[in-house]
Amino acid sequence: MEAKHTINAIVENQPAVLSRVVGLFSGRGYNIESLNVGPCADPRFSRMTIVVPGDAHVLEQVTKQLNKLVDVVKVVDLTAESHVARELVLVEVATAKAARTEVISVANLFGAAVASVKDGSVTLQFTGNLEQVDDFIRLLRPYSILNLSRSGPVAVIRGE
């Protein structure tokens, strides 16, 4: 199994920056497992959180190439740094009325919220670290997951 690296890139909040970053990855045959972008405290800049699978060589090349882009201000590999990362997951679970209580109990165990209830399903919203999200999904699998959407992590270095 390949290692996963979490990279933060502070970029200028300009049109086409995302396109150039994605083009950098695809042009070199590197995969992006997850990509999140949003404005920083200073609206002139955005923070990209990118999860890239690969070995040390892939990480080195990605970091070097990102640093060459004009709109990139700073690149940090968070993988070995102390950082906070959270992911949002929305899960729609098929539920007969009898099982609904059990599904909501699982949600309560994790501190998840009920986002929507329909006759045959319930949609849950949960935010946590990667392991918590994986555990949450694993416990819901026996109830028949109808839809699943994960945001991928957003992350910041501690103390930044």
Which of 28, 58, 62 lies closest to 48 in space, CA to CA?
62
Report helix, strand or coil for 119: coil
**H or E element that contains 45:** strand 45-53
pLDDT (average), residues 137-157: 95
- pLDDT at position 95 is 92
pLDDT (average), residues 79-90: 93
- CATH fold for the domain made of 4-81: Alpha-Beta Plaits (3.30.70)
Does the structural domain 84-157 have CATH classification 3.30.70.1150?
Answer: yes
Q: Residues spanned by CATH 3.30.70.260 within the chain? A: 4-81
Q: Are 24 and 86 in contact (CB under 8 A)?
A: no
- % of the chain surpassing 70 pLDDT: 99
Per-residue pLDDT tens over the stretch 100-141: 999 999 999 999 999 999 999 999 999 999 999 999 999 999
- pLDDT at position 3 is 87
| pTM score, whole prediction | 0.85
Per-residue pLDDT tens over the stretch 28-55: 888 999 999 999 999 999 999 999 998 8
Is 89's pLDDT higher than 90? yes
Q: Residues spanned by CATH 3.30.70.1150 within the chain? A: 84-157
Q: Torsion angle, CA of 65/69/75/80, rounded to 10 degrees?
A: -10
pLDDT (average), residues 68-95: 93
